[in-house]
């Protein structure tokens, strides 16, 4: 899995990993019955004209299913807050979520390092509702551009596993301290998946798969998050990427490659009716995903 020679200038393997996500979504979206509809991912993938098939294993639908889970939660949250709101994509890479969810009344702040944002500017230009920001997302310097008066949801898709566990915990905590009404959606991988990525990166210095610095079994995620952010109002749900079911036993959860988790800050005011609407939307997504690609 070696980096193609025509690869755009991306300064490190974590930055390059955004191409694997794009590739995964684009290939899945090109299937007539794919797990995701993502016209922009296909357009950008084709326009980059990279031979990613020579550098990456054939996509197995993982990235597309993960993106569909993030979409499902954002959609449910937007319905629940019921007014114009902001989504902040930390480590946005070449994600195309804002175009997949353009029917929602959302503004987007997409944040990544300078080389990724340069590639994004060239392939997915910002617009009236989409802002691009260059920053190390862990610094929180980007909070200055976020409107203070709108509900805020932060996504970290395919990002925290590339930091140390301590850094991931520190960022989640500081997000809840920054805005107590925040909702955060992020994903984690298992220790086995993290170890495999480290082995691969070690064996091939030009690998497209960067080392993943930590992993956690699905059944341990919820208790860990309660320790990290004790004052979170709710850990809304922990959902498995591989199947799209909420209610799996600990053993089943541990057998899966990755989880998507949601943390809702102590000041997040979703009343009962809106929370029920959110639950209904989530169940619809789960049913759709359970049907498989």
Ligand X SMILES: C[S@@+](CC[C@H](N)C(=O)[O-])C[C@H]1O[C@@H](n2cnc3c(N)ncnc32)[C@H](O)[C@@H]1O
Could you list the residues that contact ligand X (CB under 6 A)? 14-15, 17-18, 21, 91-93, 95, 112-113, 116, 136-138, 157-159, 162
CB of 98 to ligand X, least distance (A): 12
CB of 274 to ligand X, least distance (A): 27
List the one residue out of 9, 262, 278, 271 whose CA is nearest residue 154. 262
CB of 117 to ligand X, least distance (A): 9
Which pair of tokens denotes residue 85?
């709101």
Which pair of tokens denotes residue 151?
């509900």
CB of 247 to ligand X, least distance (A): 26
Cβ 216 vs Cβ 195: under 8 Å: no
Nearer to ligand X, 244 or 270 (CB): 244
Which pair of tokens denotes residue 63?
């990235």
Cβ 243 vs Cβ 290: under 8 Å: yes
Beta carbons within 8 Å of 280's beta carbon, 6+ residues apart: none
Cα(199)–Cα(193) distance, integer angstroms: 10
CB of 135 to ligand X, least distance (A): 6
| Strand-strand pairing, 238-240 and 258-264 | antiparallel
Nearer to ligand X, 38 or 181 (CB): 38
- Within 13 Å, how many C-alpha atoms sit on residue 239's CB side? 27
Nearer to ligand X, 72 or 93 (CB): 93
Nearer to ligand X, 124 or 248 (CB): 124
CB of 68 to ligand X, least distance (A): 12
The alpha helices in 31-83, defined as continuous H runs, are: 39-48, 62-81
With 0-12 / 13-18 / 19 or more C-beta atoms within 10 angstroms meaning exposed / middle / buried, residue 176 is buried
Nearer to ligand X, 18 or 225 (CB): 18
Nearer to ligand X, 23 or 77 (CB): 23
């Amino acid at each position: 899995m070696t980096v193609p020679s025509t690869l755009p200038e991306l300064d490190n393997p974590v930055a390059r990993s955004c191409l694997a996500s794009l590739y995964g979504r684009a290939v899945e979206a090109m299937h007539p019955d794919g797990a995701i509809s993502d016209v922009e991912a296909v357009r950008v993938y084709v326009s980059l004209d990279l031979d990613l098939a020579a550098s990456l294993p054939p996509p197995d639908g993982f990235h597309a299913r993960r993106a569909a889970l993030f979409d499902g939660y954002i959609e449910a949250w937007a319905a629940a807050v019921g007014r114009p709101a902001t989504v902040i994509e930390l480590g946005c890479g070449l994600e195309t979520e804002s175009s997949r969810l353009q029917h929602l009344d959302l503004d987007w702040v997409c944040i990544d390092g300078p080389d990724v944002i340069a590639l994004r500017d060239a392939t997915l230009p910002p617009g009236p509702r989409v802002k691009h920001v260059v920053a190390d997302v862990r610094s929180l310097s980007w909070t200055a551009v976020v409107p203070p008066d709108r509900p805020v949801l932060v996504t970290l898709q395919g990002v925290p596993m590339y930091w140390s566990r301590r850094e991931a915990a520190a960022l989640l905590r500081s997000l809840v301290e920054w805005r107590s009404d925040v909702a955060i959606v992020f994903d984690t991988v298992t220790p086995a998946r993290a170890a495999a990525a480290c082995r691969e990166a070690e064996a091939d210095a030009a690998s497209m798969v960067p080392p993943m610095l930590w992993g956690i079994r699905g059944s341990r995620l919820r208790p860990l998050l309660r320790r990290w952010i004790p004052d979170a109002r709710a850990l809304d749900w922990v959902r498995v990427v591989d199947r799209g079911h909420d209610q799996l036993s600990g053993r089943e959860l541990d057998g899966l490659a990755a989880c998507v988790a949601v943390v809702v800050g102590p000041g997040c005011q979703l009343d009962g009716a809106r929370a029920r609407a959110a639950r209904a939307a989530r169940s619809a997504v789960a049913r759709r995903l359970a049907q498989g690609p």
